[in-house]
Structure formats: structure tokens, C-alpha cells
């Protein structure tokens, strides 16, 4: 929160009151009270003066007093530093986490209506009205797809991570290994992943667990050889797919990997949703970010996918890419609109620590936060103009303009897996290198995260341990 206003400032914790003669800026915060209401104040002492903010609250709207204390402390800091610096750090107020819609669902769970929820977000979290309306609308749209915890202990989703890509993109920080350097790992990795799919699938069957959605991600799953991809999809159908499976997604990602053979393999395996991710439809940008495909490749892949007959196509774009402006995003969205996918996912560029972009920023000028916000607005208008509605949202650190990523869909074509993954109300089991599992306790909603090793060699070596860990967790959640 402090770094939103004072980026990179060094922080240390002081005990007791602020020193009267300190030449170093000091921030004091105090919150007291209980279930009936809280009172708190924050004071920022600097060479420019003392900047204070105080506030009283009534009974907690969520009923969680400890969380309310933390929320009020953040809110006090937000307004004290806003006054001291004169900065407006973005539209999300005190939300710094990945999943702002989770707060909305808690409010809706307690009986708040749309208007009350928006009011609380603006008043108690300093969220701007437009974003409060956005996430409230998204949460309400998700509600029919999110069973109450007590009603879904017998239902899970499965993520299968393929950690290989043709090349590594400039902005990427995911645990993806380029095939140019790591092709020798693919065959042993595939063999071990098949064993994990089989072992976990047999355990799911033993516990009578339904799999609602299956998601092949990465990496780029379609960068595998056609026969390896076919083998994995066949195993997923044999061991994971159940009568309750409503969605099967494959991240095609790079259009240059989507040969007609691979598309037919996916369609023949019953894949219902395919992602083809151009990120931009500007040739010069594709070269800068290292995509190794052309705009024409995107058109070819979409046409072939339509001819093969996938029910849902998703396309990803990124706003804020190096060298792009609003006109470039408008051009990209015109292309996307003409291709008419059922889903569009809009990402705001995040400068991630593990990316090449961070090391090469001097060579790649980025848009300002204001420019990124204008680009984001272009994508929103194009999605709305195509009849799409926003259905899921998440945020990341170091995003341009302190913005967000939003998934849009034609009504009724929302990606179930994306909703379950972000809202964390259903167990999601991660298979493959770098895959994360989210074990949700259906009795109280508590969550345990577990991760497979990112390195394929480490994943291969530790497979027996990883399978045992999942078997133990499956027994516990049932």
C-alpha cells in the first residue's frame, strides 16, 4: 500500500510514538474497537508537515473483525499518503491483491444487494465507482456458476501444465522452457505426466469425485509433437473426464503451433474451448516481443479452428506493449472483432521480475499509466460492441496504470475454469510441471495451495512424492 504512493521507499518498523525531531518520514497508524465498530487514525510525518486522516466505522459488513481492522488501517494509510503526496495511484483504492471479486462475493453472501455492495466498495475500500460497478457486475454474473461450498464437495476441476514453448516472449515470467534449448526433456516429461494423470484420475474415481472442467495450459501445450499431444488428451479423457465435465480447454496460445493435424486431434478429443492468443495484431510489435508468428498466422489458425468446429474460441490481447499506442490497440481490436471469437481476454502489461523485459526496459519504452488506461477503455468498448460481457477479473503486481486483466465472453460462453480458479470456491488439482493445486475445504472454505516443481527434471524426479501428496489431499477433502 505504501509503495503505491512512495515507490521503492525503504521501510522499517518503529515501536512506540514517532520521534518528535525525526528527519526521516514516519507513518503512524492506530486502530481500536470491536464488533460494534472501529475507530482509527493515521499520521504521516514528513519535512512538509503532518498529514492525518481519521475514521469511525459501524458494525462490520462482513462480520470479520480482524480483517476489518486491517482494512481500516490500509484505508487510513491510503488517505493520509494521498493527502501528503497528492498522488492518485489508480482506480482500485486499497485493493492490492489478485482477486478483488472475492470481497464482492463475501458481501453478496451476507445479503448485500448490488447498490449496497457498490457503496461499500467505494466507501470502505476507496475503489472508484466504475471499478466497483465492474467487479460487482462480474460477481453477480458468476453466482449461478459458483455452487455454495456445502453443495460442491464432490466436484473439482483439473489443470494440466505443459512447461514448453517454441520461444520465450519478452514479457513472460511463467515457468516455460523453450523447445530450442530443452527439447530433450519433452519425452520423459510426457511419460511422467501420463503417470500423474492416471494416478490422480484413479483416485478421483475411487472417491466418486466429478471433474467439472479440464484445462491444458502452460507454456504452450500445442508446441508438443502431435502424437504426444494426442496421448495426453486421450489420457485426460480416459482418467479425468466424467459425466459432469462441462468444459475442456486447450491453450493453443501461439497460432504458429496450430497445425491442422493438432487442431483435428484436439477436436477429436472433445476439446470444447481453444485459445488462440495473438497478444497484438501489429506485425512490428510481434517481432519486438518475440512471438515468432505473424498476423496472417492468426487468421490462418482461426479459420482452420472454425472449419474443424470448436464451440468456443478465446483470444488474448495485451494492452501496454512496448511501442504501442491507443491507435495500435484500436487496430488490434478491429482485427479481433472481425474474427468473432466467443471469448476475449484482455491483459494489462505487467513488468515481471523474471521477464527479459525488466532487464531491457531502456530498449523498450512503455506507455504511461494514463495511456494504458485509455487502451484498456478501447478494449472494453470493442468487447461491449461485440456483445460480450466481463465475466472474470484478476490483478497482478507491477501492472501499468495499476489496472487489471479482464475476461469477456458472449453470454452463456463464459469459461467455467477461469471463474473457479480465480474465485477459489472449488478445489482445482494441478498436474504437470509448475502446476498449482488449490485444495478447498468445503466445510469452512479454507484454502491450501500446493505446487509441483517448475523444473521438468525436478518434477520427473519427485513424481512419487507428488502423487502421494495429492492422494492424501483428495481423501481429506472428500
Residue whose entry in the numeric block shows the C-alpha cell 516472449: 169
Neighbours of 447 (CB within 10 A): 12
Residue 150 has pLDDT above 60, yes or no: no
Q: How far is CA 208 from the centre of its chain?
A: 29
- Higher-confidence position of 23 and 209: 209
pLDDT in tens, 249-290: 999 989 999 999 999 999 999 999 999 999 999 999 999 999
For the chain, the average pLDDT equals 93
CA distance 259 to 279: 19
Higher pLDDT, 113 or 12: 113
Q: Are 282 and 332 in contact (CB under 8 A)?
A: yes
| 30 membership: H or E segment, kind and range | strand 26-34
Instruction: Report the DSSP pairing between strands 405-409 and 389-394.
Output: antiparallel
Would you say 223 and 229 are in contact if contact means Cβ atoms under 8 Å apart?
Answer: no
Q: What does the chain come to in residues?
A: 478
419 pLDDT tier (thresholds 50, 70, 90): very high
What is d(CA 389, CA 203) in angstroms, rounded to the nearest whole number? 37
Q: Evaluate the CA torsion angle 463, 466, 471, 477 in order and state its sign.
A: negative
Of 87, 83, 77, 127, nearest to 107 (Cα)?
127
Residue boundaries of the structural domains of the chain: 1-88, 90-145, 152-473
- Which of 8-22, 224-238, 430-444 is modeled with the greatest confidence? 224-238
Q: Is the pLDDT confidence value at 174 over 80?
A: no
d(CA 268, CA 271): 7
pLDDT at 153: 66
CA gap 233, 227 in Å, rounded: 10
Please give the pLDDT value at position 352: 83
Confidence of residue 182 (pLDDT cuts 50, 70, 90): confident
pLDDT tens digits for range 234-259: 999 999 999 999 999 999 989 999 99
CA distance 236 to 230: 10
> Coil, strand or helix: which one is 300?
helix
Distance CA 378, CA 297 (A): 24
User: At what angle are helices 226-239 and 186-206 packed, to 10 degrees?
Assistant: 10
What is the CB neighbour count within 10 angstroms for residue 109?
A: 13
* Residue 334 binned pLDDT confidence (cut-offs 50, 70, 90): very high
Question: What is the fold, at CATH topology level, of the domain defined by 152-473?
Answer: pyruvate-formate lyase- activating enzyme (3.80.30)
For 10, residues 6+ apart whose C-beta sits below 8 A from its C-beta are none
> Residue 385 is placed in which grid cell?
460492441
Exposure pattern of 28-66 as b/e (b: 16+ CB <10 Å)? bbebeeeeeebebbbbbbbeeeebbbebebeebbbeeee
Quick one: what percent of the chain has pLDDT higher than 70? 96
Checking if the pLDDT of 152 tops 80, the result is no
pLDDT at site 368: 94
pLDDT of 22 reads 66
Q: Looking at 55-59, 185-189, 238-242, 415-419, which range is the least confident one?
A: 55-59
Distance of alpha carbon 404 from alpha carbon 367, whole angstroms: 15
pLDDT on residue 168:
83
Grid cell digits, residue 393: 477479473
Question: Could you count the other beta carbons within 10 Å of the beta carbon of residue 181?
Answer: 10
Q: What is the pLDDT of residue 62?
A: 66
Q: What pLDDT band is residue 332 in, cutting at 50, 70 and 90? A: very high
3-state class (DSSP) for residue 340: coil
- pLDDT band for position 35 (50/70/90)? confident
**Which of 113-127, 192-206, 264-278, 441-455 bottoms out in mean pLDDT, i.e. has the lowest?**
441-455
Of all residues in the chain, the percent with pLDDT exceeding 90 is 78
Per-residue pLDDT at 477: 80
Reduced to 3 states (helix: H, G, I; strand: E, B; else coil), residue 37 is strand
Rounded CA-CA distance 72/4 in Å is: 17
Assign 21 a pLDDT band (cuts: 50, 70, 90): low
273's CB contacts (< 8 A; 6+ apart) are: 247, 248, 249, 250, 310, 311, 312, 313, 314, 343, 415
d(CA 57, CA 37): 5
Q: Note the pLDDT of residue 90.
A: 87
Instruction: Report residue 7's pLDDT band, with 50, 70 and 90 as the boundaries.
Output: confident
pLDDT computed for residue 362 by the predictor: 81
Q: What is the pTM of this model?
A: 0.94
Model confidence at 312: pLDDT above 70:
yes
Contact 78, 94 (CB under 8 A): yes
How much is the average pLDDT of 226-233?
98
The answer to whether residues 127 and 92 touch, using CB atoms and an 8 Å cutoff, is yes
Rounded mean pLDDT, 358-375: 91
Q: Does the pLDDT at position 42 exceed 90?
A: yes
The closest alpha carbon to 18, from 7, 30, 26, belongs to: 26
Place of cell 493453443: 252
Most confident of 46-55, 166-175, 364-373, 408-417: 408-417
Q: Is 472 helix (H, G, I), strand (E, B) or coil?
A: helix
pLDDT tens digits for range 421-435: 999 999 999 999 999
Amino acid at each position: 500500500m505504501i509503495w503505491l504512493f512512495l515507490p521503492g521507499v525503504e521501510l522499517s518498523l518503529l515501536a512506540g510514538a514517532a520521534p518528535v525531531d525525526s528527519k526521516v518520514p514516519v507513518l503512524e497508524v492506530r486502530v481500536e474497537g470491536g464488533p460494534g465498530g472501529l475507530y482509527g487514525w493515521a499520521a504521516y510525518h514528513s519535512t512538509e508537515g503532518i498529514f492525518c486522516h481519521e475514521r469511525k466505522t459501524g458494525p462490520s459488513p462482513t462480520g470479520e473483525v480482524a480483517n476489518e481492522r486491517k482494512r481500516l488501517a490500509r484505508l487510513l494509510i491510503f488517505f493520509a499518503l494521498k493527502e501528503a503526496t497528492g498522488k492518485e495511484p489508480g482506480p482500485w483504492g486499497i485493493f492490492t491483491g489478485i482477486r478483488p471479486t472475492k470481497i464482492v462475493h463475501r458481501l453478496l453472501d451476507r445479503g448485500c444487494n448490488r447498490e449496497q455492495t457498490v457503496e461499500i466498495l467505494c466507501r470502505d475500500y476507496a475503489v472508484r465507482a466504475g471499478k466497483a460497478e465492474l467487479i460487482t457486475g462480474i460477481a453477480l454474473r458468476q453466482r449461478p456458476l459458483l455452487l455454495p461450498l456445502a453443495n460442491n464437495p464432490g466436484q473439482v476441476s483439473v489443470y494440466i501444465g505443459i512447461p514448453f514453448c517454441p520461444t520465450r516472449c519478452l514479457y513472460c515470467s511463467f515457468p516455460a522452457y523453450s523447445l530450442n534449448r530443452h527439447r530433450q526433456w519433452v519425452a520423459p516429461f510426457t511419460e511422467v505426466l501420463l503417470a500423474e494423470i492416471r494416478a490422480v484420475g484413479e483416485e478421483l474415481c475411487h472417491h466418486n469425485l466429478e471433474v467439472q472442467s479440464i484445462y491444458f495450459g502452460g507454456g504452450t501445450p500445442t508446441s508438443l509433437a502431435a502424437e504426444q499431444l494426442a496421448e495426453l488428451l486421450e489420457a485426460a479423457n480416459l482418467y479425468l473426464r466424467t459425466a459432469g465435465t462441462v468444459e475442456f480447454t486447450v491453450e493453443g496460445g501461439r497460432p504458429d503451433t496450430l497445425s491442422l493435424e493438432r487442431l483435428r486431434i484436439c477436436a477429436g478429443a472433445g476439446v470444447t474451448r481453444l485459445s488462440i492468443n495473438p497478444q497484438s495484431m501489429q506485425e512490428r510489435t510481434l517481432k519486438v516481443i518475440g512471438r515468432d508468428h505473424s498476423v496472417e498466422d492468426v487468421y490462418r489458425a482461426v479459420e482452420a479452428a472454425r472449419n474443424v468446429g470448436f464451440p468456443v474460441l478465446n483470444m488474448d490481447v495485451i494492452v501496454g506493449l512496448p511501442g504501442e499506442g491507443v491507435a495500435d490497440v484500436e487496430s488490434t481490436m478491429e482485427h479481433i472483432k472481425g474474427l468473432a471469437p466467443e471469448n476475449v481476454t484482455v491483459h494489462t502489461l505487467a513488468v515481471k521480475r523474471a521477464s527479459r523485459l525488466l532487464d531491457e526496459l531502456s530498449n523498450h519504452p512503455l506507455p504511461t499509466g494514463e495511456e494504458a488506461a485509455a487502451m484498456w477503455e478501447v478494449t472494453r468498448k470493442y468487447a461491449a460492441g461485440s456483445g460480450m460481457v466481463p465475466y472474470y477479473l484478476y490483478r497482478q503486481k507491477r501492472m501499468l496504470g495499476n489496472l487489471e486483466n479482464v475476461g469477456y465472453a458472449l453470454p452463456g460462453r463464459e469459461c467455467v475454469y477461469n471463474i473457479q480458479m480465480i474465485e477459489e470456491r472449488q478445489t482445482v488439482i494441478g498436474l504437470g510441471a509448475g502446476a498449482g493445486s488449490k485444495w478447498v475445504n468445503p466445510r469452512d472454505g479454507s484454502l491450501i495451495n500446493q505446487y509441483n516443481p517448475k523444473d521438468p527434471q525436478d518434477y520427473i524426479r519427485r513424481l512419487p512424492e507428488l502423487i502421494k501428496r495429492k492422494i492424501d489431499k483428495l481423501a481429506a477433502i472428500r
